A and B are shown apart, each in its own frame.
Chain A
Amino acid sequence: MKKMLLKGVRIADLTRVWSGPLSTRILGDLGAEVIKVEDLRSRGLYWQTGAEEQDSMGLGLFPEGKPGEQPWNRSGMFNDYNRNKYGVTLDLNTKPGKELFKRLVAVSDVVIENYTPRVMKNFGLEYPALREVNPSLIMISLPAFGRSGPYRDYLGWGPEIEAVAGITTLMGYSKDEPCRMGYAYTDPATSLHAVGAILLALLHRRLTGEGQYIELAQSEMATSLIGHQIVGFSLTGREPQPQGNRHPYAAPHGPYRCKGDNQWIVITVTSDEEWKAFCSVMGNPSWTRQDLFSDQLSRWKNRDELDGLVEQWTSQHDHYSVMQMLQKTGVAAAAVLDNKEVLSDPHLKERGFFWDVAHPQTGTFPYPGPPMRLSKTAPTLRKPAPCLGEHNQEILVGLLGLPQEELTQLEEQGVIGTKPPSLE
């Protein structure tokens, strides 16, 4: 039996979509017992559009684009964020749903939720109510804009949070050509912070016996990630501009086209020494000896011309081989990998980064493993993402002691189940 960092920690997980589920996946990988509590309708987001269109649209990402008979159990996105968790269904709008949830909270260490603030209030399941059943409970909420202030009830997904938090204004090719990041950065960033907050609270409870409530406003978390810009503005009064692919002093710097369709390399030359190494890899072509490029400042000032010449060289080579040639001589360079290439990247493979997880309804696929390598308490894979309501029996009857006949009744009332109601 491997040693698990969070063995014995039980988490009642009400979170949905990305930021919350990734938080509890990280904790689950570290050994926590995560019990994912879902409303029977809550997986709709992953499959409804995809199933309706019977093609590859939507967030579902079904194997070969096929939703299948139970699309709610076949979503790639869902399966990715929910390994190592138990899955139970509960309708928290109903009295028996609330009662059972409180019984779960009574035997849990942590409750985590990422609803807008009014939802838990409407359920009557805010921290003071839950602490009555578990005085040393740790609870964390991940609202978009926080539980107070004028925007408290506002909706926000990653892109809206980034916009308000000051991130979007820093992104783009230039000030007049803003461009969002290709993924919702605040979601995984929230997860890393939430894990830290929960671990701090667990440590505090281990030392003092005291639980606590934690509020993580995703907008504030996002703004804290550009704290250097806040401090910078405070010191200079100057509004920062999107940096694009340029560097404040290094040239060459940026993406250059390589051989093949849409293949790119990024290169950064930050010193005279690296420039010399870079030139020798290119075979010291005569243009490199022009006065235009004789020193760091000249190269930076003449970077438009320089970029064109560099690209003439890179475009004759494959992106991986340019990376290897340059890195060998100490110049920072990297192939711009697409999703397929990331999954087969030799370095990530050799380090065993991807975990193959077998799921009963989708088969086996590779998923990112945990990036924290802990020498004595290595994260472990214990189970794939749960099917909807898969562990109702095990958790509600086995853990919470619900009599079997009541479980059957709840199923009949639609408080629990294994199928979204609209399909019944």
Chain B
Amino acid sequence: MSKQVLSHVKVLDLTHHLSGPFCSKFLAAFGAEVIKVERPGEGDVSRRIGPFPNDEPHPEKSALFLFLNTGKKSITLDIHSPTGVEIVKKLVKEVDVLVENFQPGVLSQLGLDYETLDKINPRLIMASITNFGQSGPYRDYKANSMVEYALSGHMYITGFPHKEPLTCLEYQPEYQGGLHAFDGILGSLYWREESGQGQYIDVSIQECLAGQHEYTLANYAYRGVIQERLGNRVDIDHPITLYPCKDGWVSMSGRMSLNQEPVFLMVDRLDLMEDPRFQTARSRVEHAEELDAELMPWFLEHTKEEVFQLAQELRVLGGMVLRIEELLQNPHYKAREFWQEIEHPEVGKVIYPGGPFRMEATPWQTTRAPFLGEHNQEIYCGWLGYSKEDLVRLRGAWVI
């Protein structure tokens, strides 16, 4: 593989499950050598989470693990044992970046806090991704995606007004935490070239999310409006919504407060231009139900592909709701050669999404996820100078 932008960067990856692995996946895809430290025996908890081929759980066949850990090297190490702690310290000397997502306090109890590690390696950049950050009253609270959506204000505004709040897309809070850490690490690497110093990065997933629906926050701060759940509608104009059609659903953002003529033209109902109920954004919102009743029959007679193409032809904001199977066959994604196939010895050819952005000089490149402890010998013997006999001893003692 050619030289990449992060080829000079070594990462000690003490993360598990979602947020941290998402971050180190990105570092690996841009060339960093990522050493993923897994618990002896079980490995990363995501190896237990499916889906699995034929619903047969297997630690090397988890879709979640295989997605999140591409391009990394796996070693096993019990960092909760004194020997494990010493080995971590040895590894810290060799690396540029340490990323972790334990509960706050776990690493400092082991004597692996930033202050200590900074003394071992002053150029170290250390990032901690946690649910609520390293300080404050919720510091030790437990969380998952739903809890994060609730405490950052997203869940309250998602769902139908007459129903309970709806949790948003799974794993995204954790992925956002990972992305923020990725950005912080890159910025710190850039700054280190000039200053020669590392630094510590504290990422709170709650904060990552709380800053991501700012229309809503400004709505209260500026004019005291509590944003309520509006289902698939919004309060700035209509039709901005999901409509059922012949073979599924389409997402319409209409003309975003502009002249609605192209929308009414699309559904062959130019007469609605004259309807007093639909003259302004405000009155369209107030009469949203009635407007839907006028428009719906047309949608139900057309396929989502027809609606999408016609809308775009008329410069109306419209999108078709693709299922995953359809997405994988979509001609646009195919024409752009987005999908990547990665061969894995246990599961065969697997389809992956390509990189999330395309850099001309320093592209995203990736290889399969590692087997548990696959790189023990390479790292322990190659980096730290242990003999193969040492590895047998450490294995016997359940350290690796």
Contacts and interface: CB of A to CB of B under 8 A. Distances in A.
Contacts of A268: 144, 146-147
Contacts of A339: 153, 156-157, 213, 216-217, 219-220, 226-227
A36 to B, nearest CB: 17
Given A169-B324, A185-B172, A368 B210 contact: yes
A399 interface: no
B261 interface: no
B135 interface: yes
Contact of A150 (B152, B183, B332, B338): B332
Contacts of B318: 160
B63 A235 contact: yes
- A65, A155, A172, A353 — most chain B CB neighbours (10 Å): A155
A351 B320 CA distance: 41
Interface in B61-116: 61, 63-64, 66-68, 114
Contact of B211 (A55, A173, A203, A371): A371
Contacts of B266: none
Given A149-B335, A224-B355, A374 B142 contact: no
Interface string A349-377: 01101000000001001111111111111
Contact of B63 (A77, A215, A231): A231
Contact of B220 (A343, A345, A346): A343
A76 B222 contact: yes
A376 B199 contact: yes
Nearest to B211: A368
Interface stretch (A84-92, A204-212, A388-396, A411-419): A204-212
Contact of B175 (A150, A151, A182, A225): A225
A232 B213 CA distance: 29
B3 to A, nearest CB: 10
Interface in A201-233: 201-204, 206-207, 210-217, 219-221, 223-233
A169 B126 CA distance: 37
A262 B231 CA distance: 15
Contacts of B52: 235-236
B197 to A, nearest CB: 6
B187 A199 contact: yes
Interface in B150-165: 150-160, 163-165
B317 A157 contact: yes
A368 B214 contact: yes
A233 B352 contact: no
A58 interface: yes
A233 B325 contact: yes
Nearest to B155: A336
Contacts of B353: 220, 223-224, 226-227, 230
Contacts of A368: 207, 210-211, 214, 217
B190 A151 contact: no
A76 B219 contact: yes
Contact of B187 (A5, A57, A369): A5
B215 A232 contact: no
A67 B49 CA distance: 51
B267 interface: no
Nearest to A214: B359
B359 A367 contact: no
Interface stretch (A96-104, A190-198, A279-287, A292-300): A190-198
A183 B317 contact: no
Given A81-B214, A221-B357, A230-B324, A149 B5 contact: no
Contacts of A30: 187
A12 to B, nearest CB: 19
B357 A214 contact: yes
Interface stretch (B33-41, B250-258, B381-389, B390-398): B250-258
- A53, A203, A231 — most chain B CB neighbours (10 Å): A231
Given A203-B5, A342-B153, A194 B357 contact: yes
Contacts of B66: 231, 235
Contacts of B57: none
Interface stretch (B236-244, B268-276, B295-303, B370-378): B236-244
A302 B300 CA distance: 37
Nearest to A64: B223
Contacts of B201: 372-375
A215 B357 contact: yes
Contacts of B278: none
A367 to B, nearest CB: 7
Contacts of B150: 255, 264-266, 334-337
A147 B66 CA distance: 30
Interface string B50-61: 111111000001
Contacts of A235: 51-53, 61, 63, 66, 347, 350
Nearest to B350: A234
B50 A232 contact: yes
B36 to A, nearest CB: 17
Contact of A371 (B6, B138, B168, B207): B207
Given A164-B319, A236-B51, A202 B190 contact: yes
Interface of A: 3, 5-6, 26, 30, 45, 48-49, 52-53, 55-59, 61-65, 76-77, 79-81, 140, 145-146, 148-151, 154-157, 159-173, 178-183, 185, 188-189, 192-197, 199-204, 206-207, 210-217, 219-221, 223-236, 238-240, 243-245, 253-255, 257, 262, 264-266, 268, 327, 330-343, 345-348, 350-351, 353, 362, 365-377
Given A178-B249, A212-B362, A347-B132, 12 more contacts: A57-B236, A159-B251, A160-B251, A181-B168, A183-B154, A204-B361, A214-B358, A255-B167, A266-B155, A336-B165, A367-B217, A368-B211
21 contacts: A56-B225, A57-B236, A58-B281, A61-B215, A64-B222, A80-B218, A166-B323, A167-B169, A179-B158, A179-B242, A189-B179, A212-B361, A224-B356, A245-B166, A257-B164, A327-B142, A332-B142, A337-B152, A339-B226, A348-B206, A371-B207
